[in-house]
Amino acid sequence: MPGLIGKKVGMTSVFDENGKQIAVTVIKAGPCVVTQIKTKEKDGYDAVQLAFDDKKEKNTTKPMLGHFAKAGTTPKRKIVEFRGKYDGINVGDTLSVDIFNDDRWVDVIGWSKGKGYQGVVKRHGFAGVGMKTHGQHNRLRAPGSIGASSDPSRVFKGTRMAGHTGSKRVKVINLRVMKVIPEHDLLIVKGAVPGSKGSYVIIEK
């Protein structure tokens, strides 16, 4: 199986074998239930559908109640498909964090924190323009000229300007697996992963 669905618990730090302090992220990975197996003949592509995190029946639509009942599980909040053909996996199987026991590196996908509408200094790391003296008014954090001169006399597509920041799907690759705690379904990886505490993430082998 290529991965699991998880939930970001938060960040802490651990010590390695040399006594060095390392910042880590704690992820509650699984258990995930296999709710559907898609095939090229029937669906046009091969994939395994996993579901994670229990949900109340009264908050679940009837079609989805039937979908989960067919897989023999309770309603779930998060459903993710993993493309590919995987042998030995059947509908109704439960996958746990044990699948990462032999892995030293993983990729983590999540949604970055939303920052709302931000200027170019926060959004793109601009230094700001102009001096702080000689009658400077309120242009310290401004982007400066964006349209060039009479040639080309327009603003190019893709020019970095102020706008909505964050709330994007972000994939962080090659995070080192520091520890796997199967009894609590926890996966501890080195560094930071996208999203706030309690947000869903996808962990890939």
Higher pLDDT, 118 or 1: 118
Confidence of residue 90 (pLDDT cuts 50, 70, 90): confident
Q: What is the pLDDT of residue 34?
A: 92
Q: Name the 3-class secondary structure at 130.
A: coil
Q: What's the pTM value of the predicted model, to 2 decimals?
A: 0.83
When the pLDDT of each residue in the chain is averaged and rounded to a whole number, the result is 90
Alpha-helical (H) ranges within the chain are 40-43, 62-71, 120-124
- Alpha-carbon distance of 94 to 40, in angstroms, equals 23
- Pick left, alpha or beta for residue 72 (phi over 0 → left; psi -120 to 50 → alpha; otherwise beta): left
Indicate if the pLDDT at residue 82 is higher than 70.
Answer: yes
Q: Which CATH number fits domain 3-115+171-204: 3.40.50.2020, 2.30.110.10, 2.40.30.10, 3.40.50.1100?
A: 2.40.30.10
Q: What is the pLDDT of residue 13?
A: 94
Higher pLDDT, 149 or 32: 32
Confidence of residue 130 (pLDDT cuts 50, 70, 90): low
Average pLDDT in the 53-58 region?
90
Determine whether 24 is exposed, middle or buried from the number of CB atoms within 10 Å of its CB (0-12, 13-18, 19+).
buried
Indicate if the pLDDT at residue 89 is higher than 70.
Answer: yes
Average pLDDT in the 155-181 region?
93
Domain ranges for the chain, please list them. 3-115+171-204, 116-165
Q: Which of 176, 182, 175, 178 is nearest to 31 (CA)?
A: 182
Confidence of residue 135 (pLDDT cuts 50, 70, 90): confident
- Alpha-carbon distance of 21 to 14, in angstroms, equals 6
Q: What is the pLDDT of residue 152?
A: 84
* Among 57-61, 64-68, 139-143, 174-178, the least confident range: 139-143
104 within 8 A of 114, measured Cβ to Cβ? no
Indicate if the pLDDT at residue 30 is higher than 90.
Answer: no
